[in-house]
Structure 1
């Protein structure tokens, strides 16, 4: 079983969609606690609509997102705090239920976990799959970066 991951930092919606299509992804599992973005096309409703136009499903699993203290730590490069905050999040019953659903969704069809960070090594999606993705092969996808003007 394969779980794809992808971040949209530094890319366009078109490049993001193209990366998903190249990999054969059929569903995006949004693991942002707050599925909002200042980057055009990446907020929940507009992203779900753009994915649907390409025949790609969308589901948001809020309980698998990073709480604000963890997001703040990640922005500062404080990996230790991010890991501690996120480990606490994953212990919550709603996160455990969402993680079970995530595993079921990944088993159903090629799916990609979505978050902001381009580099999966600094993102909670890697922590999530390390904790809750036993037996899952992880493939990190990268959308083409925005070209300098």
Structure 2
């Protein structure tokens, strides 16, 4: 089982695809609420096409995206706002749709290497860090219960 995060900040599509191939990633899971970008090649269709050409599957899970009005505090690591936005997103991950998507993401990780994808290069400044924590918790729970 392998799951990691990756951001496209400061990347080109070719560089991103190259990194994914080097790491042996089988599936890229896009956790942006809206899979659009002003940066060429990173909108849903273009990215999916580039990944498909490289033999990497693309899955968009918008239910694991962070709401626009909950993003500002992610630039900070330890402030009241940083804690507030992370707590809000953690609560949103408890919703039924998000729980189902987290289980699906864990299933993907059980079948091959997965990269969880969003914009920020530094995972500490991105909601995907919390998504990864939740999925790793599911995978760890399964290992313990066997």
User: Same fold judged by TM-score > 0.5?
Assistant: yes
In the alignment, structure 1 segments of 5+ residues that lack a partner are 138-149
- Over the aligned positions, Cα root-mean-square deviation in angstroms equals 1.7
Secondary structure, aligned partner of 2:29: strand
Q: Which portions of structure 1, spanning 4 or more consecutive aligned residues, are displaced by more than 3 angstroms? A: 75-78
Alignment partner, residue 26 of structure 1: 26
**Does 1:117 find its partner at 2:120?**
yes
Richer in helix (by share): 2
After superposition, the C-alpha distances for 1:42-61 in whole angstroms (9 at most, x for unaligned) are: 01111000100111000011
Secondary structure, aligned partner of 1:134: helix
Q: CA deviation at 1:73?
A: 3.0
Alignment partner, residue 51 of structure 1: 51
Mapped contact 2:3–2:113 kept (Cα < 8 A): yes
Q: Separation in 1 of the partners of 2:129 and 2:55? A: 26
Q: CA deviation at 1:76?
A: 6.9
**Does 1:40 find its partner at 2:43?**
no
**Does 1:60 find its partner at 2:60?**
yes
Equivalent pairs counted in the alignment come to 137
Mapped contact 1:4–1:111 kept (Cα < 8 A): yes
Higher relative contact order (CA 8 A, sep 6+): 1
